[in-house]
Amino acid sequence: MLLKHPQLKLIQPGDTRWLSYFRSVNAVIRCYEPLMITLEHIVHERGEESPSASGLLSILKDQSTTFILHSLEP
């Protein structure tokens, strides 16, 4: 699903640039739903073989993470 929207790609933040963190968080906010669907698919298909996807999915499902993301929306 993310591949259908090439303009919505995740950005790796730089070490010291706040703007890069803003762009990274903004990318997650803009493509939250397809990101969640993709992560759920990876976890369902690969299970324990993909601990990174499972961990990220768990973090993004957390209510406090969702609250923070919504409060950071431009």
DSSP 7: T
Q: What is the pLDDT of residues 58-73, one digit of tens each?
A: 999 999 998 988 888 7
Each residue of 32-69: b (16+ CB within 10 Å) or e?
eeebeebbeebbeeeeeebeebbebbeeeeeeeeeeee
Q: Model confidence over 31-49: pLDDT tens digits?
A: 899 999 999 999 999 887 8
Q: Please, which residues have CB within 8 angstroms of residue 31's CB and are 6 or more apart in sequence?
A: 2, 5, 8, 10
Global confidence as pTM: 0.68
List the chain domain ranges: 31-74
Rg (CA), the chain: 13
